[in-house]
DNA sequence: CTGAAAGCGCTTACAG
DNA sequence: CTGAAAGCGCTTACAG
């Protein structure tokens, strides 16, 4: 059986109270007693039961992380960075891959509440639908509008969309299309599209956005790519709202004999480590994933400590254009 | 304040015992009482505290997942699949990115024990070093030898290495090199290398393996690629033990004016969804990630249920050659 | 400096 | 069919 505090106490010849105190380094304890307790803990290979502690303290030091899927490199990296920051301050992460499925997300939310997480970081698309306000739980959203009072951490999506579209225009593209995930007008990521539209209009061109519905299904990426090439044969510029879309489009275009970037220039979005490794030639807009993670955790911590004094409702980090060979 | 069982009991006019019973659907309860209790729970927006439950039951339904990093697409996908299977059977996943750092891994292991996880799935390289046997905890390793009694789930690494090397040889490569992560002789992934060596020797050729030490640092991939191109200018075939290495090598080779596959043929390993999206032309050996995840969880569950009857110490899934354009 | 007691929110024998 | 009591493993006022 696992040793408990009582066993340690018995072996050290003290009371459980005392053991607890040396465990928590709290109150005055005689040096000698302390040593005895430590010795006993070692001997028994004792480690405290965090469940019992948390039950009493009403604090688990666990946060929930809800994202679509770690399979997507952006979220894979974001998850790593968030977990990494958390680990460095002794927080733990309960992982939830919602695949943007509302039912799953609902289940996860319920699960997280039951497990008494101290806070939740949400990086999914299901904006506004679930009640994340419930029991004054700490919540931070990444790149998503969840509700009015929930802080949003994002990168400068408008700037990213603008940089991307302007780059294509400046390279002489006359027929620039945009590929995007499911539309979500209230959400910051939407600003990429808005920027695209603004730049297009300013240039006297007609903005056209193609939408990929099943974002996590490679086949659907290719179908949209085919559709674009069928419907707009003179397309010469594509701004894809993530690197995976961009890569799929490029592969489809090449299959049709198009030269990249001579015939069609393509720029992606996200600029993850993985996409840079696997597709180093892809021009893209890079999001500062580590910064996003750090801000999200920082703001969450503040909320959990009840510090709403300077609660920032918006944090926006700069993006970076990675100029490579597909434009 | 969060409502507790007592509050529900009071509102429903019954005892906490009864509430607990309807919660757990256990023992006989009058239909009417049941309805009253449900009504009270709804009214109060009650949800049970799993901490308290777990404390009593000595079961958390939480498992720990230790991997190097979700940034790596193989582990990103593996993590998704594992979490996905777990969620479907009401298990939760505590995520640990160890970066193959032994100290971190030690800390994580300690953390997981304190948090009373029911089991651990380990996918890191630190074989044999940590004591995963400790307190009869359920443990499953993915593609790693942890210790004699810990079950290993892996894909057929030898077959993969053989397929890869034979492909290059059959395409006429005369100078085939192998790129690998840190050597780890006791581990299944090592079989890829062993197969490479066996095939090379059989063909009367000299096996040479280059090692990438800092596996998660893109720069180090490129350094090794440069080293190879400097030291073995007549290299005409490369078998890389993961797709990221392969991509980095290809990019470096192209930078030196080499044509792929005309001058050098390259085959990778893993065949993740992400690498297929981002680099669809890469020939590679695909691991059945979902199968690995399913087996790992299945075996872990058996252990947790104390079912060691047919405890398989080895599960090996088949790999698949994805023949594309880099060979 | 140290201990006995009560309590964190639940569950389950044991009675009735 | 239902309830009072004890206990899961800890912590923290409160006494001493």
pLDDT tens, position by position, B192-236: 999 999 999 999 999 999 999 888 888 899 999 999 999 999 999
Query: Gap from A95 CA to D3 C1', in Å?
Result: 40
Same domain, yes or no: A198 and A299: no
CB within 8 Å: B84 and A93 = no
Q: Contact at 8 Å (CB) between B130 and B102?
A: yes
pTM: 0.95
Same domain, yes or no: A204 and A230: yes
Query: Is B82 a member of any domain?
Result: yes
Q: For position B193, what pLDDT does the model report?
A: 95
Residue A283 or residue A190, greater confidence? A283
Same domain, yes or no: B161 and B223: yes
The count of other CB atoms within 10 Å of the CB of residue B213 is: 11
Query: Is B266 a member of any domain?
Result: yes
Q: Is the pLDDT of residue B127 over 80?
A: no
Q: For position B25, what pLDDT does the model report?
A: 86
From chain B, the residues in CB contact with A97 under 8 A are: 80, 83-84, 87
Q: For position B27, what pLDDT does the model report?
A: 74
Q: For position A214, what pLDDT does the model report?
A: 83
Q: What is the pLDDT of residues B48-57, one digit of tens each?
A: 999 999 999 9
Question: Containing domain of residue A216, as a range?
Answer: 157-287
Residue A23 in tokens? 């465990």
Cα B254 to the chain's mean position, in Å?
A: 32
Strand order in A265-270's β-sheet? A208-211, A176-180, A237-240, A265-270, A283-286, A320-322
Lowest mean pLDDT among A12-26, A176-190, B85-99, B194-208: A176-190
Residue A251 in tokens? 């592969």
Query: What CATH number has the domain bearing residue B169?
Result: 3.40.50.2300
Mean pLDDT of the B277-303 span: 96
Residue B204 in tokens? 């009367």
**Which residues does residue A92 pair with via DSSP β-bridges, in sequence order?**
A62
Residues near A278 by beta carbon (within 8 Å), at least 6 away in sequence: B73, B243, B244, B247, B274, B275, B278, B279, B282
Q: For position B311, what pLDDT does the model report?
A: 65
Same domain, yes or no: A278 and A168: yes
Q: Are strands A265-270 and A176-180 parallel, antiparallel or unpaired?
A: unpaired
Query: Is A322 a member of any domain?
Result: no
Same domain, yes or no: B250 and B162: yes
Same domain, yes or no: B145 and B161: no
Q: Is the pLDDT of residue A128 over 90?
A: no
Same domain, yes or no: A258 and A309: no
Mean pLDDT of the A255-283 span: 97
From chain A, the residues in CB contact with B95 under 8 A are: 65, 79, 83, 93-95
B238 pLDDT tier (thresholds 50, 70, 90): very high
> What integer best gives the mean pLDDT of chain A?
92
Query: Is A325 a member of any domain?
Result: no
From chain B, the residues in CB contact with A72 under 8 A are: 76, 274
Query: Is B188 a member of any domain?
Result: yes
Mean pLDDT of the B16-21 span: 92
A60 touches strand C (CB under 7 A): no
Residue B304 in tokens? 């947790």
- Which of A7, A59, A83, A95 best probes binding to B when mutated, by most B CB atoms within 10 angstroms? A95
Q: Contact at 8 Å (CB) between B256 and B230?
A: no
Same domain, yes or no: A283 and A294: no
Domain count, chain B: 3
Same domain, yes or no: A171 and A243: yes
Distance CA B130, CA A5 (A): 25
Q: For position A274, what pLDDT does the model report?
A: 97
Query: Gap from A55 CA to D14 C1', in Å?
Result: 21
Residue B35 in tokens? 């309805």
The set of strand D positions with any atom below 7 Å of a protein CB reads 1-5, 7-13
Q: For position B135, what pLDDT does the model report?
A: 61
Mean pLDDT of the A284-295 span: 98
Q: Count A/B contacts: CB-CB distance under 8 Å.
A: 163
Please give the DSSP secondary-structure letter assigned to residue A287. P
Closest chain B C-alpha to A234 CA, distance in angstroms = 24
- Residue given tokens 């030196």 in the structure block: B256
3 state SS of B210: strand
A120 pLDDT tier (thresholds 50, 70, 90): very high
Q: Is the pLDDT of residue A84 over 90?
A: yes
Q: For position A126, what pLDDT does the model report?
A: 63
Mean pLDDT of the A134-147 span: 82
Distance CA A91, CA A59 (A): 11
Same domain, yes or no: B171 and B264: yes
Length of chain B: 327
- Smallest CA–C1' separation from A50, nucleotide: D10
Q: What is the pLDDT of residues A181-214, one digit of tens each?
A: 887 767 787 899 999 999 999 999 999 999 998 8
Closest chain A C-alpha to B15 CA, distance in angstroms = 21
Query: Is B325 a member of any domain?
Result: no
> What integer best gives the mean pLDDT of chain B?
92
Query: What CATH number has the domain bearing residue B23?
Result: 1.10.260.40
Query: Is A201 a member of any domain?
Result: yes
B280 touches strand D (CB under 7 A): no
Mean pLDDT of the B240-259 span: 96
Closest chain B C-alpha to A201 CA, distance in angstroms = 31
Extract the runs of DSSP E, i.e. beta strands, from A6-137.
62-67, 92-97, 119-122
Residue A240 or residue A33, greater confidence? A240
Same domain, yes or no: B184 and B119: no
Distance CA B174, CA B155 (A): 28
Distance CA A285, CA A25 (A): 49
Closest chain A C-alpha to B119 CA, distance in angstroms = 15
B153 pLDDT tier (thresholds 50, 70, 90): very high
Q: For position B327, what pLDDT does the model report?
A: 95
Distance CA B161, CA B169 (A): 12
Q: For position A146, what pLDDT does the model report?
A: 76
Specify the DSSP element, H or E, that contains B299: helix B289-304
Nearest to A278 among B79, B111, B243 (CB): B243
Same domain, yes or no: B260 and B163: yes
3 state SS of A99: coil
Query: Is A54 a member of any domain?
Result: no
A6 touches strand D (CB under 7 A): yes
Distance CA B61, CA B40 (A): 27
Distance CA B73, CA B282 (A): 15
- Which of B106, B255, B277 best probes binding to A when mutated, by most A CB atoms within 10 angstroms? B277
């Amino acid at each position: 059986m696992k040793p408990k505090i009582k066993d340690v106490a018995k072996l050290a010849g003290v009371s459980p109270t005392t053991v607890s105190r040396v465990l928590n380094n709290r109150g005055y304890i005689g040096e000698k007693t302390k040593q005895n307790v430590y010795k006993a803990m070692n001997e028994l290979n004792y480690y405290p039961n965090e469940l019992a502690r948390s039950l009493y303290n009403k604090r688990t030091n666990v946060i929930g992380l809800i994202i679509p899927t770690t399979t997507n490199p952006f979220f894979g990296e974001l998850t790593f960075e968030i977990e990494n920051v958390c680990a460095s301050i002794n927080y733990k992460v309960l992982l939830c891959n919602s695949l943007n499925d509302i039912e799953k997300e609902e289940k996860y939310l319920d699960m997280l509440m039951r497990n008494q997480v101290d806070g939740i970081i949400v990086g999914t698309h299901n904006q506004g639908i679930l009640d994340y306000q419930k029991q004054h739980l700490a919540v931070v959203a990444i790149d998503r509008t969840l509700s009015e009072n929930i802080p949003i951490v994002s990168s400068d999506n408008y700037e990213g969309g603008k940089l991307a579209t302007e780059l294509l225009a400046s390279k002489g593209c006359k027929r620039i299309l945009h590929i995007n995930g499911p539309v979500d007008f209230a959400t910051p990521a939407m600003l990429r599209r808005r920027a695209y539209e603004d730049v297009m209009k300013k240039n006297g061109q007609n903005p056209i956005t193609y939408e990929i519905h099943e974002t996590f299904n490679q086949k659907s990426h290719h179908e949209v790519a085919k559709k674009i090439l069928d419907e707009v044969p003179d397309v010469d510029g594509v701004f894809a709202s993530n690197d995976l879309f961009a890569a799929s489009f490029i592969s489809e275009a090449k299959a049709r004999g198009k030269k990249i970037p001579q015939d069609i220039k393509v720029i992606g979005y996200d600029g993850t480590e993985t996409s840079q490794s696997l597709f180093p030639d892809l021009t893209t807009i890079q999001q500062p994933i580590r910064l996003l993670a750090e801000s999200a955790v920082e703001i969450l911590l503040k909320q959990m400590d009840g510090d709403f004094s300077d609660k920032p409702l918006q944090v926006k980090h700069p993006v970076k254009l990675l100029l490579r060979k597909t434009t």
